[in-house]
Amino acid sequence: MHITFCAVEAVPFAQTGGLGDVCGSLPLALAQRDVSVTILLPRYKFIDAKKFGITPVDKYLSRAILSPNLDVYFLEHDYYGKRDGIYGDNGDDYPDNLERFQYFCSRALKTLEQLKIETDIVHCHDWHTALIPIYLKDQYKNSSLASARTILTIHNMAHQGVFPRERYPKLNLPATYNSPHYLEYFSRINFLKGGIVASDKVTTVSKQYAKEILTKEFGCGLESVLKSRRDPLVGIINGISHDVWNPATDKAIAQMYTKDEVTIGKTANKAKLQQLVKLPRRDDVPLFAFVGRLVHQKGVDLILEVMDQFLGMDAQVVMLGTGDRRYEKQVKACLDKYPGKIWANFEFDDSLAHQVYAGADFFLMPSRFEPCGLSQMISMAYGTIPIAFKTGGVVDTVKPFDATRREGNGLLFNHFTKKDFLQTLHRAMEIYRDQKKIHSLRQNALAADFSWDHAAGEYIKVYQCLLSA
Ligand code: ADP
């Protein structure tokens, strides 16, 4: 079986979030299960050819071989990849993103033909690659690619690639597709919608999100388009890389620890974290951490709303995040108000993030919606207990703690309100004071399996099903 991944992010070459993780890590896990994978990526100027062993194929195409059945081709353009960002700079999208991603979609299929890659499935990710199923239908009827099937994986419904209808001629497609049956949505071009309609299969990144995006509340306007497909929407939870997020082998943390050494390991790492961020070195207070984008989706406003009451208790907070300036300002105000209780940093610092995951007792994740979410899985891998709103991928991965049965691996709140969130924080404080309870919670968190291998198995089932249909 040969699968072509088409994406605009993939670790380790280019990443801003979960999309990059999936498109870099899932192909590796598939390749280990004897699936051949080719990844097609735009060639961004910041991708270091030397560092990654990328060699030219021709003037506009280069390649890196990752393993005998996994290679990456980088599609170059004189202008579209030659900038500092993937989507934009300083929070603004590039004005020519329609042209940039249209070019990538069209070029991706041409590249498969050029290289004579006979692929079984073209696996597209998010709106940036959602034109590919349409081009394949329209322009490759008599090509060796005609029998290839297409899958579109939606990583976040909130991003759809919406543009004024006047720009339709740039897509280089017949007028037929400029209709509500394909790309048009309320008099605008909507890339994601086109992909949902035209691809052979649509998947998303958790079972719960697959249910949620069929509703008005989470579907971001496309719920009826999703519902109009005859086949069911499939949800497959992402994994995390065990090589990267593993306290037993993590060189970025002060003291490595296994499941059996969790108490001693966390105590040592908490002390190191407190020393790093200049908070009082105390093990009798629980340390709550947030690592993530400082944006509305992540519920940063809810954390800020409860801060007065929360820090009125005997607790410490560490926040690491980049994002909206207004949240940054509000967090800064808390630093002045509660010295010795809260510390924050507004950079993207991967190494520090490792120490935070290892050193914290609880992880704050009040996301309003969460297609999958990696940070709750990462924190559990370090025995750090997630406190999360019951939504999307959180539901697939965090099982609420039942103190009597000693079951469950996290703390969930069911209503996105200040009251519910605060109650859950109070509960966390109580659990922290009970050594037996916190120990069993940590053990349960550490026992969870979030390997990419599991996800790869689920995707292979979808591929097989599609090929036998
Ligand atoms: P999303 O993709 O919506 O941003 P995820 O939870 O899926 O959220 O993934 C976020 C990833 O980015 C996690 O691995 C998290 O640790 C990391 N991360 C987010 N912000 C920072 C930061 N400021 N410094 C270091 N790592 C960060």
Q: What share of the chain is helix, strand, coil (3-state, %, to 5)?
A: 40, 20, 40
Query: Measured in angstroms, how far is the CA atom of residue 293 from the centroid of ligand 1?
Result: 6
CA distance 151 to 168: 23
Contact yes or no for 301/331 (Cβ under 8 A): no
Query: Measured in angstroms, how far is the CA atom of residue 320 from the centroid of ligand 1?
Result: 9
170-199 mean pLDDT: 97
CA distance 297 to 190: 22
Sheet (strand 55-58) strand order:
55-58, 61-67, 70-75, 36-42, 2-6, 121-125, 149-154, 201-204, 234-235
The closest residue, in CA terms, to atom 8 on ligand 1 is 373
CA distance 397 to 131: 32
Query: Measured in angstroms, how far is the CA atom of residue 427 from the centroid of ligand 1?
Result: 26
CA distance 446 to 310: 27
Give the pLDDT confidence of 140-168 residue by residue, as tens digits.
999 999 999 999 999 999 999 999 999 99
Q: Decide if pLDDT at 90 tops 80.
A: no
Q: How confident is the model at residue 89 (pLDDT cuts 50, 70, 90)?
A: confident
Radius of gyration of the chain (CA): 23
The closest residue, in CA terms, to atom 22 on ligand 1 is 348
**Reported pTM:** 0.94
For the CA of 350, the closest atom of ligand 1 is 25
Identify the burial level of 84 via C-beta atoms within 10 angstroms of its C-beta, where 0-12 means exposed, 13-18 middle and 19 or more buried.
exposed
Top mutation candidate among 364, 375, 391, 450 for ligand 1, by most atoms within 8 Å of CB: 375
Contact yes or no for 29/453 (Cβ under 8 A): yes
Tell me how far the alpha carbon of residue 250 is from its chain's centroid.
Answer: 21
Query: Measured in angstroms, how far is the CA atom of residue 88 from the centroid of ligand 1?
Result: 18
Identify the burial level of 81 via C-beta atoms within 10 angstroms of its C-beta, where 0-12 means exposed, 13-18 middle and 19 or more buried.
buried
CA distance 72 to 167: 31
Q: What is the mean pLDDT of the chain?
A: 96
Which of 180, 199, 192 minimizes the C-alpha distance to 134?
Answer: 199
Q: How confident is the model at residue 175 (pLDDT cuts 50, 70, 90)?
A: very high
Question: Phi and psi at residue 98, in whole multiples of 5°?
Answer: -60, -50
pLDDT of residue 17: 80
Give the pLDDT confidence of 232-273 residue by residue, as tens digits.
999 999 999 888 999 999 999 999 999 999 999 999 999 999
Assess whether the C-beta atom of 371 lies below 6 angstroms from ligand 1.
Answer: no
CA distance 464 to 469: 8
Contact yes or no for 372/238 (Cβ under 8 A): yes
Assess whether the C-beta atom of 207 lies below 6 angstroms from ligand 1.
Answer: no
pLDDT of residue 92: 87
Give the pLDDT confidence of 414-426 residue by residue, as tens digits.
999 999 999 999 9
